[in-house]
Amino acid sequence: MVLPKFSLCFWLLLSSLVILLINCPVKCDDDEEDNLYQGINKYRASLNLKALTRNDNANCLAEKLANQFKKQPCTNTTGANTVPGTEPQFSNYPDLLSKCDLAISNTRDGNVMPACVPGLVPSLVLANFTKSLYSDSLNDTKYTGIGIGSEDNWIVVVLTTNTPSGTFAPYSSNGVNLISKSGLIYCSVLFLVGYILLL
Ligand SMILES: *[C@@H]1O[C@H](CO)[C@@H](O)[C@H](O)[C@H]1NC(C)=O
Ligand SMILES: *[C@@H]1O[C@H](CO)[C@@H](O)[C@H](O)[C@H]1NC(C)=O
Ligand SMILES: *[C@@H]1O[C@H](CO)[C@@H](O)[C@H](O)[C@H]1NC(C)=O
């Protein structure tokens, strides 16, 4: 059976709607991250510094790292209380980077700052960044972008720079290719959802 074009279009539209509905609860769950994002930029505004702009790849890495941290208990030596130089290292860090389309070469100048706050109480979370050693990084003009991820009691901030070794830009030099690749994946998902609905 050959599907007429309009019905294909209809299913595509319907599937997009379904995907939006599925995505929404996830997006609407990011209150802690939004609060922190706004809090950090208010802090920067109070120092007459430019706001940090969101960076999707840094965001991705922050989520992946938060997922690693969540297995660790909150103690007075983890997160924002960590003594510089004793931060936990993840042996799978290169994997996490590549899952986010990143590489060491374009993330070296970035800054990863984890914090553990039971219940992610917004005021405590913000204080863990603006009133700890992290504030030295947050008030640094070299940082221009930010990604935030959280899991359980952990929240991770990743700062990015404008320098080539800190842009957190996708490592593929061919940006067009990358876009069409993700477009292809998106399309396949749409078709899959449409197909499932048809059954
Ligand atoms: C962390 O807690 C332990 C035990 O509760 C305590 O002995 C230690 O001094 C604390 N460390 C810091 C840096 O507060
Ligand atoms: C960070 O959060 C912890 C709770 O995990 C809290 O006890 C501590 O006071 C906070 N640190 C700062 C500097 O606000
Ligand atoms: C950033 O913080 C450091 C340490 O607290 C301070 O010495 C410096 O003056 C601050 N910079 C700005 C731009 O506020």
Summarize pLDDT for 47-81 with one digit per residue, the tens.
999 999 999 999 999 999 999 999 888 887 777 77
Mean pLDDT of the chain: 82
Ligand 2: lining residues by beta carbon, under 6 Å: 74, 80, 116-118, 124, 127-128, 131-132
Residue 45 has pLDDT above 60, yes or no: yes
Q: How far apart are CA 96 and CA 27, in angstroms?
A: 22
What are 114's strand-pairing partners?
156
At 194 the pLDDT is: 62
At 116 the pLDDT is: 94
Work out the pLDDT band at 179, boundaries 50, 70, 90.
very low
Lowest mean pLDDT of 14-28, 34-48, 53-67, name the range.
14-28
Q: Classify residue 118 as exposed, middle or buried by CB count within 10 Å of its CB (0-12, 13-18, 19+).
A: exposed
Residue type, 150: S
The pLDDT of 97-119, averaged and rounded, is 93
Ligand 3, atom 11: nearest CA belongs to which residue?
139
pTM, full prediction: 0.72
At 79 the pLDDT is: 75
Burial 66-84 (b: 16+ CB within 10 A, else e): bbbbeeeebeeebbbebee
Residue 183 has pLDDT above 70, yes or no: no
When computed from its CA atoms, the radius of gyration of the chain, rounded to whole angstroms, is 20
Ligand 3 probe mutation, 46, 47, 136, most atoms within 8 A of CB: 136
Q: Please, what are the domains in the chain? A: 28-172 (3.40.33.10)
